[in-house]
Chain A
Amino acid sequence: MTARAVARRTATDTEPEQATTPEQLLARTALGDEQAFAVLYDQLAGPIFGTVFQVLRSRAYAEEVTQEVLLEIWRKAATFDVGRGRAQTWALTIAHRRAIDRVRSEQSAVDREERADRLDLRRPYDDVTETTLDHLDRAQVRAALAVLTELQRESILLAYFQGYTCREVSEKLGVAIGTVKTRMRDGLVRLRDALGVH
């Protein structure tokens, strides 16, 4: 055990209580506490990897992006503002955005004709709701999704788990883009209330 590790261990032992919420762990991470980050990792890596993997559909890409996200959390821990929301939300917002960025930059690097066909290369949308629901192991979330209309649910799941833009959702489902935007919003309102957020 290095002197540094001994010092850290000693410091931990003398603390009155162990930080356990992601917010507390993030606060300690911000001070360079690698052990706190390791515990935070155990709480967040699963949700981050799961979200990113749903969007990217490739384990290799998902690991790459998940690693970037975790490093960003480590680097930016001090900039997390507890007044602006939960640590998990902060982490997953970063993760989702990075996954989406990766999907879109991969797309822009391929031939534009392929790009036009891209939507058809993905899973047929009929599978999306069911396949995604199969992966959602939280009964509460599944139950909340069940209160949405089909169009609300499909718009939200295509966007969040497949990385579709409003325009792509509109093309895929054959509804006006304005309708898609409206359904995403009122669907999220309904989902938020069903999940008891705020």
Chain B
Amino acid sequence: MTTADTHILAGAYALDAVDDLERAAFTRHLGECPVCAEEVAGFRETAALLGTAAATGPDDRFRRRVLAEISQTRQLPPRVSAGPAAAARHTPWRKRALIGIASVAAAAAVLVGGISIGLDQSVPGNPVPVADGGAVTSAPDATTARAAVAGGGSVSATVSRQLGKVLIAAQALPRLDAGHAYEVWLTGPGAPRSAGLVGPDGTVETALPTGTDGVAVTVEPATGSLQPTTPSIANLAVR
């Protein structure tokens, strides 16, 4: 990933105009190309100025709601000790949060097989990559269901109702021929809704519609199907 063609993607990447595959590849590229990393930082600042120019305020009711919610929301601990003042703030719940996050992060590493997805702010010295999409796996209400697949491998679904998201991770599923792919479905009161094809990194992250009570995986043509056309190979109930 060091061709001129790769560098060209810096603009599209900073504008979030890349697809998931390109994003994953370019994120890896950024780790080894300081020139692109600096360019992306400048582009993001530029894009943020566009965003600032579009500023428009949500109302006071919204402000009260957000401020009420943050006082009920736990914060992540700092990455590194920020001196005695910060250390003194390591109250018991913070320690619990640290342990909780470490174990969730470890679980996430197992789920995605050590592949970091969309990891924009890499953490030097942190052994376990938590994907940006790790918002799901690190959510305080995250729950994970897992099911073994008859032909080998397993599928897991990590759900956060609070974030309204689900991260589906496939592990060591049987390899399919080029014409087929694994497709993930969200089941509920209506017809199954496609959550997309399982990507090369083995994961699919998607919004979780209200009423979703399960996740299913089927084998479909590589172009994907509108509705499942084969019996599911995995079924998970989600809360």
Given contacts A50-B56, A63-B62, whether A109 and B209 have CB atoms under 8 Å apart is yes
With CB as the reference atom, state the residue of chain B lying closest to A99. B16
Chain A residues numbered 74-113 whose CB sits less than 8 Å from any CB in chain B: 74-79, 81, 84-86, 88-89, 92-93, 95-97, 100-102, 105-106, 108-109, 111-113
Q: Are B17 and A169 in contact (CB under 8 A)?
A: yes
Query: A31 CA to B89 CA in the complex, in Å?
Result: 8
Q: Are B54 and A135 in contact (CB under 8 A)?
A: yes
Interface assignment of B157: CB less than 8 Å from any CB of chain A: no
Q: Are B42 and A197 in contact (CB under 8 A)?
A: yes
Query: A66 CA to B77 CA in the complex, in Å?
Result: 23
B36 to chain A, nearest CB (A): 10
Residues of A within 8 A of B19 (CB): 165, 167
Interface assignment of B159: CB less than 8 Å from any CB of chain A: no
Query: A93 CA to B121 CA in the complex, in Å?
Result: 11
Query: A34 CA to B77 CA in the complex, in Å?
Result: 16
With CB as the reference atom, state the residue of chain B lying closest to A184. B11
Residues of A within 8 A of B32 (CB): none
Q: Are A75 and B74 in contact (CB under 8 A)?
A: yes
Interface assignment of B187: CB less than 8 Å from any CB of chain A: no
Q: Chain B 59-74, CB within 8 Å of chain A: the 1/0 string? A: 0001101110111011
Given contacts A88-B48, A95-B51, whether A109 and B194 have CB atoms under 8 Å apart is yes
Query: A81 CA to B11 CA in the complex, in Å?
Result: 22
Chain B residues numbered 31-56 whose CB sits less than 8 Å from any CB in chain A: 41-56
Given contacts A66-B58, A195-B46, whether A159 and B8 have CB atoms under 8 Å apart is no
B123 to chain A, nearest CB (A): 8
B167 to chain A, nearest CB (A): 12
Q: Chain A 126-149, CB within 8 Å of chain B: the 1/0 string? A: 000000100111100110000000
Residues of A within 8 A of B55 (CB): 46-47, 49-50, 137
Segment touching B, from A13-21, A117-125, A186-194: A186-194
Residues of B within 8 A of A160 (CB): 15-16, 47, 50-51
- Tally of A-B residue pairs with Cβ under 8 A? 217
Residues of A within 8 A of B66 (CB): 41, 45, 67, 70-71
Interface assignment of B78: CB less than 8 Å from any CB of chain A: yes
With CB as the reference atom, state the residue of chain A lying closest to B51. A51
Given contacts A71-B70, A78-B75, whether A141 and B12 have CB atoms under 8 Å apart is no
Q: Are B44 and A93 in contact (CB under 8 A)?
A: yes
Residues of B within 8 A of A86 (CB): 45, 48
Residues of B within 8 A of A163 (CB): 16
Query: A182 CA to B7 CA in the complex, in Å?
Result: 10
Q: Are A198 and B53 in contact (CB under 8 A)?
A: no
Residues of A within 8 A of B194 (CB): 108-109, 112
Q: Are A76 and B44 in contact (CB under 8 A)?
A: no
Q: Are A138 and B206 in contact (CB under 8 A)?
A: no
Residues of B within 8 A of A45 (CB): 57-58, 62-63, 66
A180 to chain B, nearest CB (A): 8
A179 to chain B, nearest CB (A): 10
Q: Are A78 and B56 in contact (CB under 8 A)?
A: no
Q: Are B14 and A188 in contact (CB under 8 A)?
A: yes
Interface assignment of B25: CB less than 8 Å from any CB of chain A: no
Residues of A within 8 A of B69 (CB): 67, 71
A3 to chain B, nearest CB (A): 15
Chain A residues numbered 29-81 whose CB sits less than 8 Å from any CB in chain B: 30-32, 34, 37-38, 41, 45-51, 53-54, 62-63, 66-68, 70-72, 74-79, 81
A174 to chain B, nearest CB (A): 17
With CB as the reference atom, state the residue of chain A lying closest to B71. A34
B39 to chain A, nearest CB (A): 8
**12 sample A-B contacts, Cβ–Cβ < 8 Å, listed by A number:** A31-B89, A32-B89, A41-B63, A50-B52, A71-B70, A75-B75, A93-B48, A95-B51, A97-B16, A100-B16, A105-B206, A192-B45
Can you list the 6 inter-chain pairs with the closest CB atoms, starting with the nearest? Answer: A185-B11, A184-B11, A51-B51, A78-B78, A159-B17, A46-B55
